[in-house]
Every structure is written in structure tokens, then in C-alpha cells.
Amino acid sequence: MPENIFERKLHIPRTKEGEREPEIMEQIREFHAKMEEVEGFVGIGLFGSTIKGYSDSSSDIDCIIFYDPNDKDSRQISHEIFAKADSVKEEMERTGKREVNYDVHNISARRFEGLIRGEERAFWGVPFPLENFLTAICQVTTGEKISAYRRVFMDKLKRLPSERQKEIYDLLMAFFDRVEQPGVRKLVERKPELAGRASEILAARRELWAERVHRFLGIPDEASGGNGESDSGTGI
């Protein structure tokens, strides 16, 4: 079994051969640096094949761009983020770099509180419920700002009744299962030597994901016999 299937750093950009993707990581860092020119930009969260272990030379980079309007007009800040991201994407594609696909989401504490209370299930008409929001910030992210937001969210989650914590935890695990199963199937399809081991791989990744949720969000308290740990910087 290739080492990267069960390694603790589950979401590091890799090829389907298990090799690290330094070019992708460098492109993401460059993308982040240029986005920092826009007011309200917080960081970038990665998802898709580049962090699931089945990317190849034709794979795009899929990500979410997080922003916080900081009491300013959220729609205006979002438009400015999109405009900058479009410009950077076009510049990168002109120089032969990988295509970047992205969406933009408000990561403010105010919006998080609305999701916790069940007041929001969509973002400008696009479904983006609580489990999507929390999953996104538990993925690989860029920069240092995201750590502060994780700590705020962890504190708010730990103040909830244990029943609500468990409910949110179960939502996150169910969402993981829905998203990860197709990814593991693709991984097995592209790596014949893993034939027949999809269930084993999925179970191992599920365990790692549960640990990651507890580490970043501290829920549920009994998951690791403690109250979670601070984010020590697992971004790129």
C-alpha cells in the first residue's frame, strides 16, 4: 500500500503516483499572494483531485476563496474578490499554468453564527450549508489568517450543548462520506494496484478526517478525549 494513502497529512497536493506537486503548491502560493492585494481577502481553501491523490497533468486546481467584509458591503467586497481572481487566473493561464476554478465565500463570524442558528442555508442563492462551510475551513488552506477564524469557530462550537455539537459532527462526517467515496473510486480506478481496497482506504481516510475535525473544531469533545487543539499551521 503506497504510504500516502494512510499518511496523517491527508490533504497535501499529490499526483496519482503519490508524488508531491510542488508546481501546484507554488501556483497556489502565488495566487494567494496576489489576492492579498484585495481588501477583505482571508485565504484559499483547496478541494478536488489535487488534494485527494488522483490528479494528473490535466487536472485543474479547485478552491474556495474566503473573505470577510468586516462590516463593509459584502456584495461589493465579493465583486472585488471575483474581479481580482479572474484577472489572476487569466494571467496564469497565459503563462501556461494550470487552470484555477474557484468560488468565493464569506467567512465572517457573523455569517457563521447565522449558520449555527440555522438561519442560512445558502449564499446568494447557492446552497452552502453549515457542513459545507466547516468542511471548507478544515481542508488545506493558505496563509495564517484562517487560523484565527478556526479558533473563533472552535470557541463558539464548544459553547454549544453537547447534543448540538454531536449533530454538527455527524453532519460533517456524512458530508465527508458523500464527497470522499467518489474520490476514492477515482483513485482506485487510476491506480490498478489498489483494486479491491476502496473500503479500506475510505475507512482510513474517514478516521483521519474525524481527527482533523476534532483538531480544528474541537467537536465532539469525546472524539479525542480532550477539548481540541489549536491550529498549528497545516496550510501551504
Cα-Cα-Cα-Cα dihedral sign, residues 129, 59, 211, 142: negative
In this prediction, residues 183-189 reach a mean pLDDT of 81
Helix H or strand E encompassing 189: helix 162-190
Least confident of 50-59, 138-147, 150-159: 50-59
**Which residue has 487560523 as its cell numbers?**
147
Taking alpha carbons only, the member of 117, 108, 86 closest to residue 99 is: 86
Q: Would you kindly state where each structural domain of the chain is located, as residue ranges?
A: 3-223
Tell which wins on pLDDT, 223 or 21. Answer: 21
Q: Which three cell numbers stand for residue 67?
A: 473573505
Q: Phi/psi at 56 (nearest 5 deg)?
A: -135, -170
- SS3 assignment, position 14: strand
Q: Phi/psi at 138 (nearest 5 deg)?
A: -90, -10
Name the pTM for this structure. Answer: 0.81
Least confident of 27-31, 156-160, 185-189: 185-189
Residues 179/205, Cβ–Cβ less than 8 Å: no
Q: 3-state SS of the chain: helix, strand, coil percent to 5?
A: 55, 15, 35
Predicted local distance difference test score (pLDDT) of residue 31: 94
Q: What is the pLDDT of residues 192-203, one digit of tens each?
A: 887 888 888 888
Tell which wins on pLDDT, 174 or 187. Answer: 174
Tell which wins on pLDDT, 7 or 135. Answer: 135
- pLDDT category of residue 1 using cuts at 50, 70 and 90: very low
Residues 63/104, Cβ–Cβ less than 8 Å: no
